[in-house]
Chain A
Amino acid sequence: MSAPGNFAIPERGPGIWQPKIQGIVCNWCSYAGADLAGGGRIQYPPDIRIVRVMCTGRIDALFVLKAFADGADGVLVSGCHFGDCHYLEGNYKAAKRMFMVKRLMKSIGLDDRRFRMTFVSASEGAKWGAVVTDVVNMVRELGPSPITEFKIK
């Protein structure tokens, strides 16, 4: 893997903090890619929970913000590569919204590295494993979401 990132599978165990990462992925590319990772037994850390939508275009910016408000330590949105969207151009529209989310996060003092949009196709099982591992490592480095401090327990 030549892309920059930390693809070492992190250690887990009692006493080690585990992040909560919300994934929202499209049915046709990234969900299928994640299934392919399963078929290929690509191992990655189990800190992510996936919500499946038909297209990343379906993802309202508010879904991402709701996840952070609920206490997610990180959010990963993943769809088809540009030009490969099953619905022609949903991923372009999603990407625009996600840039907006990143700007908003910066302006409210939330590290925008907690949120990532990636493009994983249905044939990129290994890439899906690498992406999740890198996201988990990044969020671990950033620590628990500051929003959890404000939550009424």
Chain B
Amino acid sequence: MVEKKKATTKKTESKKEDTKKVAPVKQEVKKQAAAPAVGSTTKQEARIGVFICHCGTNIAGSMDIPAVQEYAKTIPNVAYVDNYKYMCSMPGQAVIAKAVKENKLTGVVVAACSPRLHEPTFRTATKESGLNPFRFEMANIREQNSWVHMHDQVGSTDKAKDAVRIAVAKAALLQDLFPKSVPVEKAAMVVGAGVAGMQAALDLAAAGIKTYLIEADMSIGGRMSQLDKTFPTLDCSQCILTPKMVDVGRSDKIELMTWSEVHEVEGYIGNFDVTIRKKARGVITPAEATERGIVGGGCNGCGDCENVCPVVKPNDFEVGMKPRKAIYINHPQVVPLLYTIDFNSCVKCGLCVTACGPEKRAIDLEAKDEFVKVKVGTAILATGYDIFPIEKKEEWGYKRFENVITSLEFERLICASGPTGGHLVRPSDGQTPKRVAFVLCAGSRDNTGTGKPYCSRFCCMYSLKHAHQIIEKIPGCIPYIFYMDIRSFGKMYEEFYYRIQDEGAKFIRGRVANIVEDKTTKNLHVMTDDTLLDRPIDMEVDLVVLAAAIQPAADTNRTRKLFGVSCSMDGWLLEAHPKLNPCGTTTAGVFLAGVCQGPKDIPDTVASAEGAASAASIPIHMGEVELEPYFATCIQEKCAGCGMCVNLCPYSALSLVEKDGRTVMEVTEAKCKGCGTCGGFCPGGAIWMNHFATPQIVAQIDAFLLGGEQ
């Protein structure tokens, strides 16, 4: 074994330049060292190399790097110290590789930014230098030092010295670890079938991946299907969306599950076991009818049932402005064309069953929720948004005054398929308004605590579009736009803004302070301060449209917890990195598409969906993924078999087994995610957490508080 190792080293040295030939040699090294003794620390003397990064002036500007370097030389086990302006650059990484080889280092410490940013970079560099990539430890002297102690040179330099000492203490005890490869299920899941979810599913399907598309509503299309026109091109929203909806329905790679919710998620990247709750629909498809032996039966969308249903409820799709029955479809172009019974309002009179007839027999009033289990390799969340309940901002009178509506209600009123057939009318008297006020930032950019602090990002633009629509449809009608700033940041958006100005819309810069209703005419007085003319305004209008803020969809919080995805303070789902990984999450194999990650207009939503689909298809096409080898391992000589850890494990990865006449714990590595909850409790210290082992953590604590001496 020793001879073999020597031979390998020679080979590596002689063929240093020829990287192609070096690659298979490295694999040989990997195989030889594949079985480190569990629980043992390094036998050979640790020789650690410390590399300090200036990060330009990000780090060097706030601390004395030469002092840290001089100090690092005095730390036990340190064999080499160097610094470089940008350690993450190619030459910076080359410094590491060269130093490891020349100084026979056993571990690498890089004092630079956060390991959450560049740990993978330096692990690769460590690997390329011939060491095991897990022989690397990072000292965070940027995010948690130079950037947060910018005016305290002494304090930050001392902290950096300690950080290096702590990292060296851990690096000296690190072991070789080998990531485990697991196969990836060749299927994906998309949660939410709005424009983002549909685009992601279509892209995955086009890449040849079986995709489960889960939608909580009875039909797909999401918010975009409620819109009339889209800015700035004035494309008809339905016209550009319907082909996509039809494609989703037609694709043989997409298994569409509407009226369904994710109920439970187990597993990890490559192997998610997802349980889906198919809510009782009460109506069966032709395929389901055939399965039940009703040949030629099932729902064909004729609508006979709807005609006879005696229950009348407000239609949510039309924002409550149109009635629906207990058995209904959202709108005429729905995909799938399949009626659904709202069992919360159904009185089970059976009239629909009779109307449906003995041939189709599509209605089943005794339907129950069904649970379906599927296995997928990756998942995309595209759960979208809801409108902020703007009645909370009482001063604008929504739900108090009949003629104050939200933009979504405006969309339905101006839409040809909407409740009024595209005629914009005042809800109070059905008259056509001649003066319409648009209140922008209604609940957005609001620091009072009632509304949302963020910009909802598309309200300015759709309000401009609304202004255009009323100028176009109602001769003589004047739109008044009350704004704080017009944010027209996208491609051709600013040009659209100019166009609307030229068309005659009136712009008044001022946040609306109050809206008062005239009790007799039901007209509204919009009161604000015109901040450009510096004078108070009291304007009488016929209709007020509130461009309400948006917030994460109601079920987002539940869904994200099932997938282990974090959220920001506003509830939007948290991306892995705001700049460089906007579609990824901290849960490997779970991605974000569309507005669930933060407010986006349609182009951005579609782009993010395509990005998420591309990211989600990578592990599936790779066929296998490497899992970080932070598994728990049982040191069986120390294990007393008490079984406390078995109940602590949230993943049921631990079990008690009989071995050599003793009861000991055993870890199922495929189930272990490496949280260490077992290792944090084990009274006998019998659980060895790879890379976060007790001796390693204690060494870090000692290194800080005892100055590296035990």
Number of interface residues of A (CB under 8 A): 54
B650 at interface, CB cutoff 8 A: yes
Residue of B nearest to A71 (CB): B705
Asked, given contacts A71-B705, A94-B680, whether A87 binds B650 with beta carbons under 8 Å apart, the answer is: yes
Q: Is the CB of A88 within 8 A of B650?
A: yes
B657 at interface, CB cutoff 8 A: no
Residue of B nearest to A69 (CB): B705
Q: Is the CB of B148 within 8 A of A55?
A: no
Interface residues of B, Cβ cutoff 8 Å to A: 114-117, 140, 142-145, 147-152, 154-156, 158-159, 162-163, 166, 561, 564, 566-569, 574, 586-587, 630, 648, 650-651, 673-677, 679-681, 689, 692, 694, 697-698, 700-702, 704-706
Q: Is the CB of A58 within 8 A of B675?
A: yes
Q: Is the CB of A35 within 8 A of B144?
A: yes
Q: How far is the CA of A32 from the CA of B163 in the complex (A)?
A: 17
Q: How far is the CA of A58 from the CA of B688 in the complex (A)?
A: 11
Neighbouring A residues of B159 by C-beta, 8 Å? 46, 49
Instruction: Tell me the minimal C-beta distance from A64 to chain B in angstroms.
Output: 9
Q: Is the CB of A54 within 8 A of B681?
A: no
Instruction: Tell me the minimal C-beta distance from A127 to chain B in angstroms.
Output: 9
Q: How far is the CA of A122 from the CA of B122 in the complex (A)?
A: 23
Q: Is the CB of B149 within 8 A of A46?
A: yes
A93 at interface, CB cutoff 8 A: yes
Residue of B nearest to A52 (CB): B115
Q: Is the CB of A97 within 8 A of B152?
A: no
Q: How far is the CA of A94 from the CA of B166 in the complex (A)?
A: 23
Asked, given contacts A38-B114, A72-B705, whether A59 binds B680 with beta carbons under 8 Å apart, the answer is: yes
Q: Is the CB of B675 within 8 A of A55?
A: yes
Asked, given contacts A35-B114, A49-B163, whether A63 binds B676 with beta carbons under 8 Å apart, the answer is: no
Q: Is the CB of B697 within 8 A of A46?
A: no
Neighbouring B residues of A93 by C-beta, 8 Å? 648, 677, 680-681
Q: Is the CB of B566 within 8 A of A38?
A: no
Q: Is the CB of A28 within 8 A of B701?
A: no
Neighbouring A residues of B697 by C-beta, 8 Å? 24, 51, 53, 58, 63
Q: How far is the CA of A29 from the CA of B568 in the complex (A)?
A: 11
Q: Is the CB of B701 within 8 A of A97?
A: no
Q: Is the CB of A86 within 8 A of B147?
A: no
Q: How far is the CA of A132 from the CA of B127 in the complex (A)?
A: 36
Neighbouring B residues of A94 by C-beta, 8 Å? 677, 680
Neighbouring A residues of B651 by C-beta, 8 Å? 87-88
Neighbouring A residues of B587 by C-beta, 8 Å? 86
Q: Is the CB of B561 within 8 A of A83?
A: yes
Instruction: Tell me the minimal C-beta distance from A83 to chain B in angstroms.
Output: 7
Residue of A nearest to B694 (CB): A60
Residue of B nearest to A64 (CB): B701
A27 at interface, CB cutoff 8 A: yes
Residue of B nearest to A41 (CB): B147
Q: Is the CB of B566 within 8 A of A84?
A: yes
Q: Is the CB of B148 within 8 A of A129?
A: yes
Q: How far is the CA of A112 from the CA of B204 in the complex (A)?
A: 54
Neighbouring A residues of B568 by C-beta, 8 Å? 123
Instruction: Tell me the minimal C-beta distance from A10 to chain B in angstroms.
Output: 11
Can you list 20 A-B contacts with CB-CB less than 8 angstroms, sorted by A residue number?
Answer: A24-B697, A27-B116, A35-B143, A41-B147, A43-B149, A46-B158, A50-B140, A51-B166, A54-B676, A57-B680, A58-B677, A60-B694, A67-B701, A67-B705, A70-B704, A84-B561, A87-B650, A88-B650, A93-B677, A123-B569
